[in-house]
A and B are shown apart, each in its own frame.
Chain A
Amino acid sequence: MPKKIIRVNMNKLEANYEDLPEKYQALGGRGLTSTIVADEVPPTCHPLGPNNKIVLAPGIVTGTNAPSSGRISVGGKSPLTGGIKEANAGTDFGQKLGRLRIGAIIIEGQSEGKDYYLLKITNDGAELKNANKWVGKGLYEVYKDLRKEFGEKISICGVGIAAELRGGNSGLSFNDPEGLPSRYAGRGGLGAVMASRGLKFIIVDDTGAPGVEIKNAELFKTGIAKLVKALGDHDVTKPGGALNTYGTAVLINIINESGGLPQRNFSRGQDDRSSKVSGEEKAEEIKKRGGARPHACHPGCVIQCSEVWTKPGGKDPVGVLEYESVWALGPNCEIYDLDTIGELNRAINDLGMDTIETGDTIAVAMEGGLIEFGDGKGAIKLLEEIRKKTPTGRILVNGTEFTGKAFGVTRIPTVKGQSMPAYDPRAIKGIGVTYATSPMGADHTAGYAIATEIMGVGGTADRLDPKKAELSRNLQVATAVVDSTGYCLFIAFAILDIVEGLQGVVDSVNGVLGANLTLDDIPTIGMQVIETEMKFNKAAGFTSLDDRLPEFMKEEKFPPDNEVFNVSDEELDSVFKF
């Protein structure tokens, strides 16, 4: 039985099943969302107009018992960047779609009037219901309500108040195992694209689902055994390893020591106060408060980098405080207090936004004089402006670049309209090349996580060496492959060093698809995904001049290294030449 596409026509308020076309059958995750968006969405359309679409796709192995493979990709044309967007999240939502043999959900058209809808998917079919009663409410409360109404077993995808405002900073929220709206396909404003179709929520119940079809069960089983072993053996991914013990925020102290942790809206790269919000401090506090750490964002994750942060006494659970979120809302705003960061993160999840974009927006608003740097209470009030849908809130909800312009700021850390994550490109040049050239805008995950070794590139990578085109290209290409499999990007830590683990990934994908891919096919597959995305962006009006970092990064020295971003335009343009 081939996989299906659920095509939701919001004009007619109909959800119909189609067979997944043959040309899409070997695709999943980002490979599938980007291909469908490129095939069906006119690149010049208005992102919030009638011709854009939202595409959701689980990865190839998502829904099986392959370890750490619960990723869901979301695609569309981004209102933040104006280009193609793929954002992904770890949640059991994608696993349930996989088990229901749904290759993709395509949401198209726009409902008439101001009503919002909920799409309910079960093994018996899909239907739309009115969702007006949850409009204007915070997602923590709504997710509780939805579970009460539709049962504890459902998984939820939702967009919040930020998306109701059509904000360029509005994500798609997914539930964690506790039902908290804390797992985000956050970047690029796809929440507004979903809301502008008239859709607020998708809920899925996989009771009675047939499960993922595995064409070669023996090969699949061998593959996941190899991967499980690699993840369990490797220092970074094993139980008691860095991610399991401290979560992604283990990086706070490390990147601060390297001089690349941006402070005060990207004005310097090191501050000893950063230790107050480190992964070590956070892990200790969670233990004291009775939160959860380590914690899996979806069943079957063996890395378990996630957590549940709470207020003292275990109150008001937030979900995970990621490295990027802690940095964006913390050091980048000169806020060195985990409780304030936790409160901000909870408000952001509640409103349905991206933590990176929001933290960068607040820092730029501080730079513009709206509030002072370090003013945590003021930052919380700014988020309330969004909740109240005030004019100030409507500026902030549109992200860092929009807010910077509104308040006359020139130090705006964005590429293609999307704000930078927690590594300054003047101190770490390779990540700057990825920020500049990724079709996604400034995105650390786009080229962060696969070894040079497997791509056959020499390993010299001094962080200040401006020759980074080849490194970034190979990382971006390999990442596009991982993002299509459904595996979490963090498996890369293990499969870089343990080649049997990488072979295990390929075996498991071959097992599901009944294919004969080899390690040598990885670059070609990844390149196809990126080529598809770049072709879309070119048709949307992007040129090589959009593959640049903001001017201030070439002009302002970044202490303590006192470096500028000195990667040449020629080097940047050599990353992708198709």
Chain B
Amino acid sequence: MPIQVKLYGDLRKIAQQHNYSKGAPNIFNINDIGIKSVRDILKKIGIEESETSHIFVNRAYSGFRKKVKDGDRVAIFPRNMALLYKWYFKKVEDHDE
């Protein structure tokens, strides 16, 4: 099962530029054995980390190093949708290997 990526707000445009868009413009699947973390997904679709704000991996508020696997749902919000307080949702983070 691939990783489902959901891009919100202005990040949709980037997905469209990269032809990942299938069906709804902001949802697409990634099948790539090279992808191990949120950071890898951002690299693959050409989004700078500084362009993002909230990231959820299976509903958990996550950081760039959060590991991902097949079947995960990864939601990425752009910087101009930043709203949650940093202290309220602690980011789930894994360490670089």
Contact call B56/A463, Cβ cutoff below 8 A: no
Chain B residues within an 8 Å CB radius of A245: 80-81
State how many angstroms separate the Cβ of B71 from the closest Cβ of chain A: 13
Least Cβ–Cβ distance between B15 and chain A, in angstroms: 14
Residues from chain B with Cβ under 8 Å of A461 in the complex = 87-90
A452 touches B87 (CB 8 A): yes
B86 within 8 A of A: yes
Q: Measured between alpha carbons, how far is A482 from B59 in the docked complex, in Å? A: 31
Question: Using a CB-CB cutoff of 8 Å, which residues 36-68 of chain B contact chain A?
Answer: 53-54, 56, 59, 61
Q: Mark B75-93, 1 if CB is under 8 A from A, else 0.
A: 1010111111111111000
The answer to whether residues A242 and B61 also contact, given A461-B88, A463-B88 and a CB cut-off of 8 A, is no
Chain B residues with CB under 8 Å of A275's CB are: 24, 26
Q: Does B8 contact A (CB under 8 A)?
A: yes
Given A257-B6, A280-B9: A250 and B59 within 8 A (CB)?
no
Q: Which residues of B contact A496 (CB under 8 A)?
A: 85
Whether B81 lies near A257 (C-beta < 8 A) is no
Task: Please tell me if the beta carbons of B87 and A257 are within 8 angstroms of each other in the complex.
Answer: no
The smallest C-beta distance from A459 to any residue of chain B, in angstroms, reads 4
Interface size of B in residues (CB-CB distance below 8 Å): 24
Q: Which of A39-47, A165-173, A233-241 contacts B (4 or more CB under 8 A)?
A: A233-241
Q: Which of A254, A280, A459 contacts B83 (CB 8 A)?
A: A254
Enumerate chain A residues within 8 angstroms of B79, measured Cβ to Cβ. Answer: 235
Are A463 and B80 in contact, with the CB atoms below 8 A? no
The docked-state distance in angstroms from the alpha carbon of A278 to that of B24 is 14
A554 to chain B, nearest CB (A): 21
> Which of chain B's residues have a CB closer than 8 A to the CB of A258?
56, 59, 61, 89
CA of A452 to CA of B56, assembled, Å: 22
Distance from B53 Cβ to chain A, minimum over Cβ atoms (Å): 8
- Provide the bound-state CA to CA distance between A568 and B71, in Å: 34
Shortest distance from the beta carbon of A138 to any chain B beta carbon, whole Å? 34
| Closest chain B residue, CB of each to CB of A255 | B84
Closest Cβ of chain B to A288, distance in Å, is 17
What residues of chain B lie closer than 8 Å to A463, measured between beta carbons?
A: 61, 88-90
The answer to whether B87 touches A270 (Cβ under 8 A) is no
Contacts of B54 in A (CB 8 A): 254, 257
Q: Count of chain A residues with Cβ under 8 Å from any Cβ of B?
A: 33
Give bound CA distance, A495 to B89, whole Å. 18
Pair B84/A254 contact, Cβ less than 8 Å: yes
Interface code A426-466, partner B: CB below 8 Å = 1, 0 otherwise? 01001000000000000000000001110000011111000
Cβ-neighbour of B80 out of A240, A251, A453, A462 (below 8 A): A240
Q: Please, which residues of chain B bring their CB within 8 A of the CB of A251?
A: 83
* Chain B 1-44 near chain A by CB (<8 Å), digits 1 or 0: 00000101100000000000000101000000000000000000
A555-575 residues with Cβ-Cβ distance < 8 A to B are 560-561
Residues of A462-519 whose CB lies within 8 A of B? 462-463, 493, 496
Residues from chain A with Cβ under 8 Å of B86 in the complex: 459
Task: Please tell me if the beta carbons of B87 and A253 are within 8 angstroms of each other in the complex.
Answer: no
A473 to chain B, nearest CB (A): 15
Which chain A residue has the least Cβ–Cβ distance from B82? A235
Q: Identify which of A242, A427, A430, A459 contacts B81 (C-beta below 8 A).
A: A242
- Closest B residue, CB atoms, query A427: B59
A220 at the interface (CB under 8 A from B): no
Tell me which residues across on chain A come within 8 A of B83, comparing CB atoms. Answer: 236, 242-243, 250-251, 254, 493
Contacts of A278 in B (CB 8 A): 8
Residues of chain A within 8 A of B9, CB atoms compared: 246, 280
Contact with B along A218-243 (1 / 0, CB 8 A): 00000000000000000110001111
A430 pairs with B88, CB closer than 8 A: yes
Nearest B residue to A560 by beta-carbon distance? B59
A291 to B53, CA, bound (A): 28
Q: Is A28 an interface residue (CB 8 A)?
A: no
User: Is A75 in contact with chain B by the CB < 8 A criterion?
Assistant: no
Best-surrounded residue of B61, B75, B81, B89 (most CB of chain A within 10 A): B81
Q: Contacts A459-B86, A496-B85 known; A257 to B80 CB distance under 8 Å?
A: no
Contacts of B77 in A (CB 8 A): 253-254, 257
> Which chain A residue lies CB-closest to B12?
A280
Tell me if A160 is interfacial: C-beta within 8 Å of chain B. Answer: no
The answer to whether A259 has its CB under 8 Å from any CB of chain B is yes
Contacts of B84 in A (CB 8 A): 254
Q: Whole-angstrom distance from the CB of B56 to the nearest CB of chain A?
A: 4
CB distance from B27 to the nearest CB of A (A): 8
How far does the Cβ of B91 sit from chain A's closest Cβ, in whole Å? 10
24 pairs of residues in contact across A and B, judged by CB atoms under 8 Å: A235-B79, A240-B80, A241-B82, A242-B81, A242-B82, A243-B83, A245-B81, A246-B81, A254-B54, A254-B77, A254-B84, A258-B89, A259-B59, A275-B24, A275-B26, A280-B9, A427-B59, A430-B88, A451-B85, A459-B86, A459-B87, A461-B89, A463-B61, A493-B83
Kindly list 6 other residue pairs between chains A and B, CB separation below 8 angstroms, not including A236-B82, A254-B84, A463-B90: A245-B80, A245-B81, A246-B9, A254-B54, A257-B75, A427-B59
Chain B residues near A (Cβ < 8 Å): 6, 8-9, 24, 26, 53-54, 56, 59, 61, 75, 77, 79-90
* Residues of A bordering B, CB below 8 Å: 235-236, 240-243, 245-246, 250-251, 253-254, 257-259, 270, 275, 278, 280, 427, 430, 451-453, 459-463, 493, 496, 560-561
The 10 closest A-B pairs by CB, nearest first: A259-B59, A459-B87, A257-B75, A257-B56, A242-B83, A462-B90, A235-B82, A452-B87, A242-B81, A461-B88
